[in-house]
Structure 1
Amino acid sequence: MRHARVYGVAGLAVLLVGAVAFAQSTVAPLPDNPPVETEPLDANAVAALAKAAPGDPQKGAQLAGACAACHGLDGNADIDPTIYPRIAGQSERYVARQLALFKSGERLSPLMQPFALPLSAQDMRDLGAHYAQQEAGAGIADDGLVESGPYEGMKFYEVGQKLFRSGDAERGLPACMACHGPAGSGNPGPAYPHVGGQQAWYSSARLYTYREGVSDEQDKHLFNVMASVAKSLTDEEIEALASYMQGLHARPDPAMLAAIEAQAAAQPAPAVPLEETPVPTPDADEADPGTDPAPDATPDAD
Structure 2
Amino acid sequence: MSTDSVFSLKNRWFVGAVGLAAGLFVFTAILGLIELPFAQRDVTFEGIWDAICSAAGVPLTRSSAAPVQPDFKLSTVVVTATMLSNPSQESIGRGATLAQQCAIWHGPVGVSRADSPNLAGQYAPAIYKQLKDFKTGARVNAIMTPFAVPLSEQDMVDLSAYYAYLPRLPAYHPEQDKPAPRIVVNGAPLRNVASCGSCHGALDNKAGSPWLEGQSAAYIKAQLEAFTSGARRNDISQQMRNIARQMTPEEIDEVAQYYSAQPSQTKRVSTP
TM-score range normalised by the length of the shorter chain: 0.5 to 0.7
Q: How does 1:105-116 map to 2 (within 5 A)?
A: 105-116=137-148
**What is the root-mean-square deviation in Å for CA atoms of aligned residues?**
3.3
Task: Give the C-alpha shift of residue 200 in structure 1.
Answer: 0.5
Q: Which residue of 1 aligns with 2:246?
A: 232
Give 1 or 2: higher helix fraction.
Answer: 2
Indicate if the aligned counterparts of 2:214 and 2:262 stay in contact, CA closer than 8 A.
yes
Indicate if the aligned counterparts of 1:139 and 1:198 stay in contact, CA closer than 8 A.
no
How many residues align? The count is 184
Task: Give the C-alpha shift of residue 109 in structure 1.
Answer: 0.9
Task: Give the C-alpha shift of residue 119 in structure 1.
Answer: 0.6
Task: Give the C-alpha shift of residue 141 in structure 1.
Answer: 6.5
Q: How does 1:129-144 map to 2 (within 5 A)?
A: 129-137=161-169
From 184, 189, 197, the counterpart of 2:214: 197
Task: Give the C-alpha shift of residue 168 in structure 1.
Answer: 2.1
Task: Give the C-alpha shift of residue 233 in structure 1.
Answer: 0.9
Find the residue that maps to 2:181 and give its secondary structure.
Answer: helix
Task: Give the C-alpha shift of residue 182 in structure 1.
Answer: 1.9
**Structure 1 residues 212 and 45, CA gap change in structure 2 (3 angstroms):** closer
Which consecutive residues of structure 1, in runs of 5 or more, have no partner in the other structure?
A: 1-42, 144-154, 250-302
From 232, 247, 250, the counterpart of 2:261: 247
Q: Which residue of 2 aligns with 1:60?
A: 95
Runs of 4+ off more than 3 Å: 43-50, 52-55, 138-143, 213-217
Q: How does 1:1-150 map to 2 (within 5 A)?
A: 55=87, 56-77=91-112, 80-82=113-115, 84-137=116-169
Percent of paired sites with the same residue? 31
Q: Which residue of 2 aligns with 1:286?
A: none
Q: Find the aligned partners of 1:103 and 1:133 in 2 and give their Cα distance.
A: 23
Task: Give the C-alpha shift of residue 114 in structure 1.
Answer: 1.8
Indicate if the aligned counterparts of 1:138 and 1:198 stay in contact, CA closer than 8 A.
no
Instruction: Report the TM-score when normalising by structure 2.
Output: 0.58
Cα displacement string for residues 248-281 of structure 1 (whole angstroms, at most 9, x for unaligned residues): 79xxxxxxxxxxxxxxxxxxxxxxxxxxxxxxxx
Task: Give the C-alpha shift of residue 87 in structure 1.
Answer: 1.3
Determine whether 1:161 maps to 2:181: yes
Q: Find the aligned partners of 1:70 and 1:215 in 2 and give their Cα distance.
A: 20
Greater radius of gyration (CA): 1
Which consecutive residues of structure 2, in runs of 5 or more, have no partner in the other structure?
A: 1-72, 264-272
Find the residue that maps to 1:73 and give its secondary structure.
Answer: coil
Cα displacement string for residues 201-252 of structure 1 (whole angstroms, at most 9, x for unaligned residues): 00111111112235454xx525x11112111111111011110011279xxx
From 170, 177, 196, the counterpart of 2:190: 170
